[in-house]
Amino acid sequence: MDDPTLAAQYAQSGDLMDLCNNEAWLRESAQVEDGMQVEAGLPVREYSQTVAALTSEQNQQVRQQMKVQSILFTALRQWMESWDLGAGFDDTYAIARRLIRHHLANPNETQLATIDKLLAESVEPGNMNLSTGKQAVSLLAEMFTQEDWQAMAEAASHSISSRVLSTGKIQPVTTAV
């Protein structure tokens, strides 16, 4: 991370993070970080030690969970964009993620089979193709219960109503004379 490169970027755009759009910078970051641990600060020491002590099998388990959740959450986000939730999106998305994690703890046979299929396709979540996205959404639709839909609807409604109410508190009421 050499100062002249950073200073030039800052002078050009006022935002060092624009370097993340630069292929050479990204390549260099990958090289610099390769094989390195990066954790800083006493508070994360135990976390770092635990991760370093993972066996190959445990590591595979964590990576598999990561991949499943990443595929499903990416499909969920894309699906939810068609629900037109506006300001209620984030809270509803957060609840939906929680519900998915809950169901993933005890998947039924059909869900397991679909998950295996999604994993076997070696999908890159960021570049999910249409067919994989559809399979993932079908799985989510099968997973969500009536109570889940109710919980999501309440989260959306609560999120929007609290925004309106907080605006009402902050904005002074002005009336035309």
Partner 1 sequence: MRASHRLRQRHLEDFETIWKGVLRATEQPDRYWSWAYKLRQGKQEARYEAYAIEVDSLTQGLMFLETQWHRSQLPQRYPLVYVEALAVAPWNRRLLEDPPYLRGVGRTLLLFARQRSLELGYGGRVGLHALPESEEFYRRNQMPEYDPDPDKEGLVYFEYGVLRR
* Minimum separation from the CB atom of position 177 to partner 1 (A): 39
Q: Is 76 left (phi over 0), alpha (psi -120 to 50) or beta?
A: alpha
76 C-beta neighbours (distance < 10 Å), count: 20
Select 31 or 110, whichever has its Cβ closest to partner 1: 31
* Minimum separation from the CB atom of position 161 to partner 1 (A): 18
Q: Which of 121, 77, 71, 113 shows the shortest CA–CA distance to 96? A: 77
| Structure token pair of residue 139 | 């799985």
Select 42 or 164, whichever has its Cβ closest to partner 1: 42
Q: Is the separation of the CB atoms in 73 and 128 below 8 Å?
A: no
| Interface positions with partner 1 (CB under 8 A) | 1-4, 6-8, 10-11, 15-17, 19-20, 26, 29-30, 32-48, 50-54, 56, 58-63, 65-66, 69-70, 73-74, 76-77, 90, 93-94, 97-98, 101, 124-126
* Minimum separation from the CB atom of position 114 to partner 1 (A): 18
Select 25 or 144, whichever has its Cβ closest to partner 1: 25
* Minimum separation from the CB atom of position 83 to partner 1 (A): 16
Select 53 or 173, whichever has its Cβ closest to partner 1: 53
Q: Is the separation of the CB atoms in 95 and 151 below 8 Å?
A: yes
Select 60 or 110, whichever has its Cβ closest to partner 1: 60
CA dihedral 88, 126, 133, 142 (to 10 degrees): -60
String of DSSP letters for 19-39: GGG-HHHHHHHHHHHTT----
d(CA 169, CA 50): 47
* Minimum separation from the CB atom of position 167 to partner 1 (A): 19
Select 39 or 110, whichever has its Cβ closest to partner 1: 39
Q: Is the separation of the CB atoms in 132 and 72 below 8 Å?
A: no
* Minimum separation from the CB atom of position 142 to partner 1 (A): 20
